[in-house]
């Protein structure tokens, strides 16, 4: 719970006040925290691409949105990212559980893991890769950066960083 709490605290410190998630085992603690948090909006959504649309609307309505998802969700969302969030220059934080990185028990997750960073780089999305607890301190400043540059940004959280967060 310590890691998850630190991530949410830093997102909130960065101004994020609207959260969506498509679930992942590694995000479960964060979802628990957000469901109990009365200061921010939180909802589950069925699909990441739809979540990008809801985040865009939330931004138009003066919220600072974050969508939490597995890295597979980036694959589901490429057109929405490019032709909505980037086209209209909308700041949205992607908080991504980086499945398929070392420690991952499910071999099939390796495929998207191999191309996740390439996709984000191709999309020119600023990236913060969190591999240890110390990296989490950077999340608040990095989130604020999304608003400054009016762009979606991505935070990748490695499997081993999240897996023991009981």
User: Rule CB under 8 A: which residues touch other proteins?
Assistant: 18, 41, 43, 45-47, 49-63, 65, 79-80, 82-84, 87-90
Per DSSP, the residues of 20-65 read EE---GGGHHHHHHHHH-SSSEEEE-S-HHHHHHHHHHHHHTT--E
DSSP 164: T
Residue nearer to other proteins on the CB measure, 51 or 100: 51
Least distance from other proteins to the Cβ atom of residue 47, Å: 5
Least distance from other proteins to the Cβ atom of residue 50, Å: 5
DSSP 138: G
Residue nearer to other proteins on the CB measure, 21 or 101: 21
Residue nearer to other proteins on the CB measure, 47 or 114: 47
Q: How far, in Å, CA of 66 to CA of 15, rounded?
A: 10
The single residue listed with the structure tokens 């591999």 is 131
Residue nearer to other proteins on the CB measure, 19 or 159: 19
- Give me the phi and psi of 94, to 5 degrees please: -100, 115
Least distance from other proteins to the Cβ atom of residue 107, Å: 28
Least distance from other proteins to the Cβ atom of residue 150, Å: 9
The single residue listed with the structure tokens 């999340």 is 139
């Amino acid at each position: 719970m310590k890691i998850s709490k630190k991530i949410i605290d830093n997102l909130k410190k960065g101004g994020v006040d609207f959260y969506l998630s498509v679930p992942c085992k590694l995000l479960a603690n964060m979802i628990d925290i957000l469901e109990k948090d009365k200061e921010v909006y939180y909802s589950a959504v069925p699909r990441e691409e739809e979540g990008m649309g809801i985040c865009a609307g939330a931004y138009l309505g003066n919220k600072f949105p974050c969508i939490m998802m597995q890295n597979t969700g980036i694959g589901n969302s490429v057109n929405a990212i490019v032709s909505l969030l980037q086209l209209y220059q909308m700041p949205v934080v992607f908080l991504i559980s980086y499945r398929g990185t070392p420690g991952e028990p499910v071999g099939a997750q390796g495929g998207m893991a191999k191309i996740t960073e390439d996709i984000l780089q191709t999309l020119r999305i600023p990236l913060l890769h969190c591999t240890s607890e110390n990296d989490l301190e950077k999340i608040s400043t990095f989130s604020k950066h999304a608003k400054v540059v009016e762009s979606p940004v991505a935070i990748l959280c490695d499997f081993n960083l999240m897996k023991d967060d009981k």
